[in-house]
Structure formats: C-alpha cells, structure tokens
C-alpha cells in the first residue's frame, strides 16, 4: 500500500512533468506547488497552484490547489476541485494507480520497469522552481 512516506520516497526532490509544459512538485512536508502555461499572455508565463497533498491510510493520494492567474490583466485566485488517485501494489511490487476523484479512470503503472510507468515523468530536482518563483512573484504571491 502506498503511504505518505513511500510516496515521498518516490517523488523526493523530483517534479512530475505534466502535459503542455506544466508540472507539480510534491514537497516532503505535504505542500504541493504546480504551474501550468497561462492563457493570459499579458502577464506571467505560468499560472501558479499552491496547496497541500495527502495520502490516506488506504493509499489514496489527494491534492487540493488554489490557482492564481491573470484574467483581463487582474490576478484571480480559484480553488480547484480536489483530485485523488488510488494506489495498489501487485504481487511483483509494482505500484499501480488510477484517478478516483473527480471521476474514476483506468489503472496504469505509477512505478515499474515500463516506458508506460508514470515514474518516468518524475524528473530529479524541481525543474520548474525558477519559473514558479518568477510567475508567483509577478502575481504577488510568496512561495
């Protein structure tokens, strides 16, 4: 079963590279920092998400972020819907995951020796750290 400690071991000092140039960093203390390319081209290159992540006793990892972005040239803060993923470990020790909230999805490998494994998307270091800080500063946020 996935625990907070085992998830931290997988993600420690790494960032999950998302689609379209964004990403999320799961800090060991439970803080989650994310960026996503901004739609408003008049300001920061990225929207910034700040929040918390948890792992339940049943191995479900959830995160909740408040996104800050520019809309019509003004900062807007919007709490995003809580997102969760269930995790199971098979007999060979491979961790499988699937979206469980807002809707349930299909299982895929979180960690394993496969090019389809999500662990391949975790990159050492927080490659988005400087972009996160710069965009947050432009939005008037302190990280």
Res 13: pLDDT: 57
Q: What is the pLDDT of residues 91-107, one digit of tens each?
A: 887 778 888 887 888 88
| DSSP string covering 62-97 | EEEEEEEEEETTEEEEEEPPPEEEEEEE-TTS-EEE
pTM: 0.75
Distance spanning both ends of the chain, measured CA to CA: 32
Alpha carbon distance 22, 102 (integer Å): 20
Contact 85, 97 (CB under 8 A): yes
Res 121: pLDDT: 62
Q: What is the pLDDT of residues 77-135, one digit of tens each?
A: 999 889 998 888 888 877 788 888 878 888 877 765 555 555 556 666 666 778 888 88
Listed by start position, the domains of the chain span 4-138
Q: What is the pLDDT of residues 26-36, one digit of tens each?
A: 888 888 888 88
């Amino acid at each position: 079963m996935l625990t907070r400690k085992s998830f931290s071991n997988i993600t420690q000092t790494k960032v999950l590279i998302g689609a379209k140039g964004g990403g999320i960093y799961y800090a060991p203390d439970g803080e989650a920092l994310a960026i996503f390319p901004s739609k408003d081209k008049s300001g920061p290159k990225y929207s910034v998400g700040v929040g918390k992540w948890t792992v339940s006793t049943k191995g479900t990892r959830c995160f909740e972020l408040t996104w800050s972005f520019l809309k019509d040239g003004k900062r807007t803060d919007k709490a995003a819907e809580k997102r969760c993923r269930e995790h199971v470990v098979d007999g060979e020790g491979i961790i499988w995951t699937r979206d469980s909230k807002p809707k349930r999805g299909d299982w895929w490998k979180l960690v394993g020796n496969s090019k389809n494994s999500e662990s391949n998307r975790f990159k050492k270091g927080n490659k988005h750290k400087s972009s996160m800080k710069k965009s947050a500063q432009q939005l008037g946020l302190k990280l």
